[in-house]
Structure 1
Amino acid sequence: MQRLAIYDMDKTITRSPTWMAFLRAWARRRPWRVAALAASAAPAALYLGKRIDRARLKEMTQRLVMGRGAASVAVDRVAGRFAANVVMGKVWDDARARIAADRAAGYRVVMATASYDFYVRPIAAALGITDVIATPSTLEHGRLLPRIAGENCYGDAKLRMIEAWMAQEGIARADAHIRFYSDHVSDAPTLAWADEAFAVNPHAPLLALAKEKGWEVLRWR
């Protein structure tokens, strides 16, 4: 029997969302991009007005702040520094302890997040997590393009991507015991699919659902 402990990242392992924080880190060393951060309010308004979905929101904000094609060497450099900063001061202590406890209990720890893979992987690596399922980015000719290479790893798509990863790893669902941790109701499909579901510092909609479904609520600090 395979044991998997699958963790969402933003506001589950980390104390706050990471995408806009990464874009600020990118713009900090490129002053000409700072104005683009303010301009990212426009696609955010489109999203709030339900004119675009979350995937398109990501692509639009990436293009505004990082341009049509960012050199992958520069992206990796900024992502490495950003990951070090996140892991140093923006990860819940209780998340670290729970990851360690799951490992000690024989669980294979996996990160499954809607955040982009190009900066998630160094964060995961710094936490000792080698298995990562994240929103795939597009690299062409050594440049990062503002285009998702597949699905945004969010909601129902996250569960599909976890199942695809398991198939790739040769892990049958019937032969696996799965724990899943998340802070957000968008992960309800995966929480319902898991053998053990944990609502971590849940917002109100997830808290209500957790109470209805009998999922354990964790308060991490």
Structure 2
Amino acid sequence: MQAIALYDLDRTVTRAPTFTPFLVHMAASGNPLRLLGVPLWVLAMLGYKAKFYGRKPLKQFGLNLLVGRKVRNGRLQPRIDAFVAGQLARNIQPGARAQIAADREAGVRLVLVTAAPEIYAEALAQALGFEACIATRHQCDGAGNLLALIDGENNYGAHKVARVEAWLAEQSLARADCHLTAYTDHASDAPILNYADTGVLVGRYAKAQPGWAQADWSAPEMSRAAT
């Protein structure tokens, strides 16, 4: 039986969300005039909360507004690397580091499964020791640059399950031959929590549903899940 741990990123591995800080970092470290677009981004988020549109168009708008049409290439990579370094230094939950280390020591395969864009999620996954990163994918132009346009769907909710199933198939692993543990901070990830053999809701105040375990990763000694 192959043990696999599926980790969400924002507010699970990290203390705080990463997408808006990434947008602001890229604007500030590139052309600061783009920061004039931050109020528009705030209005766009309010429009999303009001259900005028979905997460995919929202994220594409934010990337175009504050980063540009191209969101990862050789010129942008140093700024992306600086963002990743800052996240690793200041935004990783200590209990997440402890759980990742414990899983790795136990021979569990580690997979980051996140709605965050591959633009920076892949680098965070690699730095934290994950074997694979299943993130929101972006279209690529003929020169190898990643674009603000999302390739397929935002990796959120039930889409995470489909992407995990595709990854298992790529690894020639049958679902019945795997024991999956999913860690995430929010009940919106119910599809993957229920798909896993063990679903763990991370957060001191998170409200777990029957059948889910719960863990608080705000401190190393709180990393162990409890039913």
Q: Please say whether Structure 1 and Structure 2 have the same fold, judged by a TM-score greater than 0.5.
A: yes
| In structure 2, C-alpha distance between the alignment counterparts of 1:103 and 1:216, rounded to whole Å | 20
Match of 2:7 in 1: 7
- Paired with 2:60 and 2:204, the residues of 1 have a C-alpha distance of 27
The 1-side partners of 2:5 and 2:176 are apart by 16
How many Å separate the matches in 2 of 1:157 and 1:215?
A: 20
Q: Deviations over 1:89-117 (max 9, x none)?
A: 11011100100111111100110000000
Give the match for residue 180 of structure 1. 182
- C-alpha deviation, 1:169, in angstroms: 1.2
SS state at 1:74 partner: coil
Instruction: For 1:100-115, list aligned pairs within 5 A.
Output: 100-115=101-116
- Look up the match of 2:16: 16
Q: Is the 8 A contact 1:4 1:177 kept in 2?
A: yes
CA contact (8 A) 2:119 2:146 kept: no
| 1:4-42 Cα distance to aligned partner (Å, 9 max, x none) | 011000000000000001111101122111111222123
Q: CA RMSD in A?
A: 1.4
Q: Equivalent residues in 2 for 1:14-163 (5 A)?
A: 14-29=14-29, 30-70=31-71, 72-140=73-141, 141-163=143-165
Q: Unpaired runs of 5+ in structure 1? A: none
Query: What is the SS of the residue equivalent to 1:10?
Result: helix
Three-state SS of the structure 1 residue aligned to 2:9 is coil
Q: Segments of 4+ in structure 1 off by > 4 A?
A: none
What stretches of structure 2 of length at least 5 have no aligned partner? 219-227
Q: Equivalents in 2 of 1:130, 1:107: separation in Å?
A: 10
> Match for residue 224 of structure 2?
none
TM-score when normalising by structure 1: 0.93
Provide the C-alpha distance between the structure 1 equivalents of 2:58 and 2:33, rounded to a whole number of angstroms.
21
TM-score relative to the length of structure 2: 0.90
| Residue 143 (structure 1) shift | 3.5
Match of 1:214 in 2: 211
Bigger Cα displacement from structure 2, 174-183 vs 30-39: 30-39
Mapped pair 1:199 → 2:201: yes
Match of 2:168 in 1: 166
| Cα separation, partners in 2 of 1:85 and 1:57, compared to 1, 3 Å | same
How far did 1:70 drift?
A: 4.3
> Percent same amino acid among aligned pairs?
38
